[in-house]
Structure formats: structure tokens, C-alpha cells
Amino acid sequence: MDNHKIDEINILKASVFSMHKAVDSLSVKPELLLIDGNRFYNYHDIPHKCIIRGDGIYMSIAAASVLAKTHRDEFMSTLHAAFPMYDWLHNKGYPTRKHREALADYGACEFHRKTFRLLPT
């Protein structure tokens, strides 16, 4: 899911859509989907359970969280090579002071979510 789609449909819908897409790619149909958080949209006829702070309760959710974060961190490191001014190697896209200062100085690039306000308007 890219930043443009997230801007279009919002982060929650994009996250759920990505989870649905991941389930679509499985060769075995799960009996139950464990969701870290408090919101999810039904996926066909597979029951789901939302668990707030589920990554601290279920190892499967914790493992998925680690994989997702590792993948995102690698992607942000790749982006840093093309856009070093945002310091994505260190902040991974989070709104640190240096990242906000770079946005003020250089503006947003094509990979910034336009609906995520890092600077006052």
C-alpha cells in the first residue's frame, strides 16, 4: 500500500485492505484472524478477533509486527538514499524535529502522505 492510496482511503482502511490482501495470498484458509487493534472489517466468512495491544499477548501478532516494522524500516532506508534531507535512515518517517525542519525547508516529496500533517497549517 503506498502513500497515495493511504491519502485516498485513510490509514485504517488501507491497513485493513492490506490485511485482506495478505489473507488472499494464503494457500490455506485461516480459521480465525487475530487483529492487533480495535477495528477490522469482516473478511468473507472468516471470523476475526480484535485484540488491543495484541502484540503483547499473542506471539503470532508480535511476529507479524516485527516483520512489518523490519520491512518498513528497510523501505525507509532505501528512500533515504534518494531523499537524505529528511533523515529517513534515522527517523523512519516519524515526525522528529529534524524531519519537520526538512519539511519546512524542502517541502514534502512524492513519498510523504499529504493527509498526515507534520507542520502546523
Check: CB of residue 51 under 8 Å from CB of residue 78: no
How many residues appear in the chain? 121
Number of H helices, E strands in the chain: 5, 2
| Percentage of the residues of the chain whose pLDDT score is greater than 70 | 97
Mean pLDDT of 96-111: 93
Segment (H or E) for 74: helix 59-82
Residue range 12-68, pLDDT digits in tens: 999 999 999 999 999 999 999 999 999 999 999 999 999 999 999 999 999 999 999
In one-letter notation, the amino acid at residue 119 is L
**For the chain, which domains are there?**
3-106 (3.30.420.10)
Q: How does the average pLDDT of the chain come out, rounded?
A: 93
Q: Which three cell numbers stand for residue 111?
A: 513519498
Q: Which three cell numbers stand for residue 18?
A: 492490506
Residue range 52-67, pLDDT digits in tens: 999 999 999 999 999 9
Weakest-pLDDT range from 19-23, 46-50, 87-91, 116-120: 116-120
Check: CB of residue 33 under 8 Å from CB of residue 40: yes
pLDDT at residue 119 above 80?
Answer: no
CA distance 54 to 61: 6
